[in-house]
Structure 1
Amino acid sequence: MKIENLKQPPLNTTLMGTLRGVADHFGIDTSDASLYGGSGHAFVINIHEELCPSGPYCWDGGPFDRLIRNLGIARTDHGFFPPQSSAEARSELESILKAHLDEGRPCSLLNLENQLITGYDDTGFDTVQPWYPRNKDFPPKRLSFGSWAEFGDGFHVNFFSYEPIDPVSRLEVILASLTYAVDLWENPDRHTGSGYGIGPNAYARFIQAVKAGAGDSHGNWWNATVWAECRTMAAAYFGEIAGAMPEISKLAQDLSGEYGSIAESLSRVSDKEMDSAEKVSLLEMTRDDEAACIAKVAQCVEVIRPR
């Protein structure tokens, strides 16, 4: 079986590519900016102390799941499966996913990247390759039942299903997402695990790693690329807010421009050839710019919060 017209666009942030595909499948009429912003992901930056490319994937997804419910999407995590997972556990999981797909409910997996699962046949699941044909082999386009051979020997995978629910008002979406943005910055330890840093801690780890010689690494390029995309969407989100909420229009217009500048700075940071001292200076400036933005986001929250 196959869910027709279930697509995953080639976004760098594959989590958001899956969400875009799910939203389109459910007929949710919202922009990319509103998906990134309303889910809170426009404001995330998570960096490992060694600047490995796992930063975009290893943070607390609980708030994300709560925020996307506001948009009309419920995501269920069906668990984590390492290579040692049993045949029985895999078979049970496969049956659950097939049942969701049979009902027209999209599923996805996270193993290095997020991929939508669009259907299945007698031998396995069909999975989206978001960057095909640029990347023809990664991530894989199939997942064989039982063996999961396409993952290789070292996989660490989670599986998810999605269903539509009633969304909340636009005010509630915006208020919840901006409140989350502030909390990410003010309480970063709540939102990620050991070895990682979010918000100001992310910048501290990024700077430390560049000073230690990781500025020319794949992790430097990929983290900066993903988080730059998120800040580009934050800029667009505030552009939409400026037009929809007169009471914070000026603040939102300012934030749109400022997050756009942060996105440009992070895009520059992605350059593996940039001099380390220049990169550290740019990261320090970007950190300070983001701190100033968060102060304005907090002002927006205070203005629009119901009294």
Structure 2
Amino acid sequence: MQLKEKYFHIGYAGLFLPALAILLWMAPHRLPHSHPGQGQPALLPMALESTEPAPRRLTFIPYKVAPGDTISGIAEMYNVTQDSIISWNSIEKARTLQIGTILQIPNMNGLMHEVKAGDTLDSIARKYEVDAQSIREVNELEEDSIQVGQRLFIPEAKLPAIELRRVWGELFRYPVRGWISSPYGWRSDPITGARRFHNGIDIGGFEGDPVRAALDGRVVETGYNESAGNYIFLSHVGGYTTFYAHLRSIHVTPGMYVREGQKIGEVGSTGYSTGPHLHFSVFRWGRPVNPVLLLY
């Protein structure tokens, strides 16, 4: 009996001690993670890593324009805005991409800014309403000195809506329903036959047809002269001015603000004219622009 008891106690101890060791090893792992120093003891010696992301580096991918390509399609393909592609590649006519043209596609959204005399990083940042530090980082500028003519990428900047409309050829609405009876450019004078430059387009119509503002703007001048007959000048954002001539009647006065599509006069044949039509001109900073490129 004593011999059996001796072996029993030895056997029990042999089973108990390993089990106790396992329980002691598991105990810290079974405690809630809220206990300091418990739960994940193996992670304690590890150094904490910084969560601050590294500055994103600006890169460009060359893309060759293929048949059927559009700015919107390319922008969607590379997950950037149309503004970014249009601005960096100095695209003036988004609707007429030339097949084979090599475009540089940025890997982030933003605009190109060419440094002009008097520019500083702070003034550029204010202009585009972005942080000056982001301009420094993206363009890898070690100091604030920039050179005239230098091209900078302005991250997250966007083109003004009017500039985007201009590039897409959708800046001005047709001011009157009708047909183009005389285009922009050099032509033979319809009365004398002399070669003259026509700084607008003539849109044929019917006497009394409504003439509407081609874009929101302010009336800067109305009047009459022997050449234009009854006329109206409207001023618009972006340095644009529109001119409406040979009107039968004028329905606005200088200083008035008008909305796009608002009636401002009626088609007539006053002044130097051979019949009812509207002479329509577009100027930017005082220089004539072909209206057909901007009308929709």
What is the TM-score when the length of structure 2 is the normalising length? Answer: 0.23
- Please state which structure has a larger fraction of its residues in strand: 2
Larger C-alpha radius of gyration, 1 or 2? 2
Higher relative contact order, chain-length normalized (CA < 8 Å, sep 6+): 1
